[in-house]
Amino acid sequence: MIFNEIESLIDYFKEEIVILAHHYQRDEVYKYGHFTGDSLKLSQLATSQKEAKYIIFCGVHFMAETAAILSGGKQKVILPNLDAGCPMADKAPINEVVSAFSYLKEVFKGKRIVPITYINSTAEVKAFVGRENGYICTSSNADKIFDAAFSRGDMLFFLPDQHLGRNTSYKKGIVGDEIGFWSRKDGLVLSGDKKKIKVILWDGHCWVHQMFQPTHIVHFKRGKEPYKIIVHPECSFEVFKMADYSGSTEQIIKTIENAEDGTYWAVGTEKNLVMRLKRNNPNKTIDILTNFNTICRTMSKIRANDLLNVLKNLKEGKIINEITVSNEIRKYSLIALNNMFSV
């Protein structure tokens, strides 16, 4: 019943609405996405959907906020459930970020520090990074953004995900005492000479991806089937190093879809995505890397009912759950986003 209602409302609005759905959404919502994707793909889609009056973003708050920045205020962006936030983004409050950065500038006087914020951050943090002419990155382009940022500065300040920052540093050969850490409790933590520092990582992580452990990989590798391990780069360094492949949600899906029938995959990312992959690829063996429940609790706050609710309200001329940003925030966040798009 509810599903018929949603379908007929989507039909009613035709090109007036576009529904964007992140790969971690529940199936009951995901199936209505006009487009599905990872953070990078969805933010690019948000800029290209010029005809639509409304973007209904089935994802988390920072994603809808990014769409609101990129759509330039011309389209209304709606998040079907306002409780769908990202706890990792909340681990970098703007006041702490600003004071940490000014402290680092003092400590590393004479060096040009380029800030990079993972797209999983608040619009205020994105705007701060834009003011400093830094970059936004996503899990699919962090490599390239590191290179671009190093071509413009001596050191990087990477936030909020320490794991994506550490794993990308490792790919660039930056390890050990070349990496500093900004502890939210204790401030700057260095393990060696400050002259060696190339990257400072923020004290943030994703609790979902923290659940994957090296022992889970050992379990699959010890079995008799030739499992390949693929993980999201938000996993810890130990897990990332032991995995055969890593990539954004879109890259994980593409790698497995393009793999030969009969192959074996253990996947280290959110459960809704892995279960869907399993169903859609019956000729491959696909398992989640851990038995822990890796459903992102905030992503999955959006239910079909929430989608129905925003559509019903729209039909009555009411825009509920609109996500907006101020012109000031938009202006500076766009600098950081455009720096990313230009790479």
Binding site for ligand SF4 (CB under 6 A): 60, 86-88, 120, 206, 208, 234, 270, 296, 298-299
> Nearest approach, Cβ of 178 to ligand 13P (angstroms)?
26
Torsion-angle region of residue 163: left (phi > 0), alpha (psi -120 to 50) or beta?
alpha
Specify whether the CB–CB gap between 57 and 78 falls below 8 A: yes
138 binds, among ligand SF4, ligand 13P, none (CB under 5 to 8 A by kind): ligand 13P
The helix/strand/coil state of 55 is strand
Asked if 38 touches ligand 13P (CB under 6 A), the answer is: yes
* Other CB atoms within 10 Å distance of the CB of residue 116: 25
Encoded one letter per residue, x for contact with ligand 13P by CB under 6 A and - for no contact, window 187-226 reads -------------------x--------------------
What's the burial of 66, exposed, middle or buried (CB within 10 Å: 0-12/13-18/19+)?
A: buried
- Measured from the CB atom, is 167 or 248 closer to ligand 13P? 248
249 binds, among ligand 13P, ligand SF4, none (CB under 5 to 8 A by kind): ligand 13P
Asked if 39 touches ligand 13P (CB under 6 A), the answer is: yes
The single-letter DSSP state of residue 121 is S
- Measured from the CB atom, is 144 or 312 closer to ligand 13P? 144
Instruction: Please state, in angstroms and rounded to a whole number, the distance separating the CA atoms of residues 107 and 309.
Output: 51
294 binds, among ligand SF4, ligand 13P, none (CB under 5 to 8 A by kind): none
Instruction: Please state, in angstroms and rounded to a whole number, the distance separating the CA atoms of residues 67 and 46.
Output: 5
* End-to-end Cα spacing for the chain: 46
Interface residue with ligand 13P among 249, 298, 300, 333 (CB under 6 A) is: 249
- Measured from the CB atom, is 93 or 187 closer to ligand SF4? 93
Segment 8 to 37, residues that bind ligand 13P, using CB under 6 A: 23
Instruction: Please state, in angstroms and rounded to a whole number, the distance separating the CA atoms of residues 5 and 104.
Output: 54
Instruction: Please state, in angstroms and rounded to a whole number, the distance separating the CA atoms of residues 64 and 80.
Output: 10
Q: Please, which residues bridge with residue 189 across strands? A: 181
Number of residues that bind ligand 13P (CB under 6 A): 11
Q: Please, which residues bridge with residue 117 across strands? A: 136, 159
61 binds, among ligand SF4, ligand 13P, none (CB under 5 to 8 A by kind): none
> Nearest approach, Cβ of 91 to ligand SF4 (angstroms)?
10
38 binds, among ligand SF4, ligand 13P, none (CB under 5 to 8 A by kind): ligand 13P
Interface residue with ligand 13P among 169, 248, 298, 333 (CB under 6 A) is: 248
Q: What share of the chain is helix, strand, coil (3-state, %, to 5)?
A: 45, 15, 35
Tokens of 72: 């330039």
Amino acid at 267: V
Q: Going by C-beta distance under 8 Å and a sequence separation of 6 or more, which residues neighbour residue 269?
A: 208, 209, 231, 232, 249, 252, 294
Interface residue with ligand 13P among 139, 168, 321, 339 (CB under 6 A) is: 139
Instruction: Please state, in angstroms and rounded to a whole number, the distance separating the CA atoms of residues 89 and 159.
Output: 9
- Measured from the CB atom, is 66 or 120 closer to ligand SF4? 120
> Nearest approach, Cβ of 181 to ligand 13P (angstroms)?
21
Instruction: Please state, in angstroms and rounded to a whole number, the distance separating the CA atoms of residues 90 and 122.
Output: 7
Segment 223 to 242, residues that bind ligand 13P, using CB under 6 A: 232, 234
306 binds, among ligand 13P, ligand SF4, none (CB under 5 to 8 A by kind): none
Interface residue with ligand 13P among 66, 81, 138, 300 (CB under 6 A) is: 138
Task: List contacts with ligand 13P (CB under 6 A).
Answer: 23, 38-39, 120, 138-139, 206, 232, 234, 248-249
